[in-house]
Amino acid sequence: MGRLTSKVDQKGTQTSYKYDAAGNKSEIIYASNSGSFSQKIQTDWLAEYNLPTQRRYYDAAGSVVKSVEWDYGNDGQINSHSIRDGKDSRISRFEYCTATDVSSGSCPFIGLLKSADGTRTDVQDRQTYSYYSSDDAACNSPSTCLHRKGDLREVVDNLGRTTQYLTYDGAGRPLSIKDANGIVTDYTYHPRGWLTATKVRGADASSEADDRITRIDYWPTGLVKQVTQPDGAFTAFTYDAAHRLTDITDNAGNAVHYTLDNAGDRIKEDTTDASGTLKRTLSRVYNQLGQLK
């Protein structure tokens, strides 16, 4: 079937693999060419969805030192996730919207995450989620649609603090979020989906004069060109033709220049101040395997 059954690294250590009938990786044995193994990992799978149900980690003596288990509902969504290491058990549990929830109006769709209960047992660490039950009234036009049915509306954390998702754009990205302190943060995006500004709104919602705005500019490649902080301080980034970072400068004129080898490893770093005076230099040497000497 073309599946990898073993490989040998540069030190001669062999790693072997086994698969179940569905092609899922069921066993990994490290250093199996030594007559014994240093570590073995076995995984059981849920055939219906090709999802892991249990993963066991063995030490060189063949004892299970750690196990990870997943429990799923009939639709393949995870109900619980547990980790056992011989001393402690850490279990996370999840609840999803059911047909009953949809009928009662508490959920817009079946399968949306309702709550996530973390691994802590000494304190309450359950987080709940609620969603918009219908489209916004202005959704006859995509440009004025504030939210769609099923968009995340609120998240309540274990301390009862509520985060509200007020509006979304047509691609489902949040445009405005209110935190537990009542502070509203607005987000703007490039037509290609890149975040271009984060605006922590002040008391005057009609003006940006009292907002704290962080702006992000991009090169046409999508790489970050400049990040400008609310106070006007900025950090700019320059890349070579291979899109590798070569220079970082700030608004004060301080700069870091990276010299790269053909593999893209940084072999030299020069730090200069605003006058161009070299303040620090750092050199690195790599071997033919790309390892730092």
Residue among 70, 155, 161 at smallest CA distance from 115: 155
pLDDT of residue 34: 65
Q: Delimit the domains of the chain by residue range.
A: 1-87, 90-182
pLDDT of residue 33: 64
189 Cβ contact list (under 8 Å, min separation 6): 169, 171, 173, 195, 196
Q: What is the DSSP letter of 223?
A: -
Residue among 231, 196, 195 at smallest CA distance from 211: 231
Tokens for 103, please give them.
């009928």
Helix (H, G, I), strand (E, B) or coil at 84: strand
CATH number, span 1-87: 2.40.128
pLDDT of residue 86: 73
Residue among 219, 270, 268, 227 at smallest CA distance from 251: 227
Tokens for 158, please give them.
């274990």
Tokens for 173, please give them.
């990205």
Q: Which residues of the chain have pLDDT under 70?
A: 1, 32-36, 142
Residue among 38, 180, 269 at smallest CA distance from 29: 38
Helix (H, G, I), strand (E, B) or coil at 256: strand
For 111-153, the pLDDT digits (tens) are 999 999 999 888 999 999 999 999 999 898 767 799 999 999 9
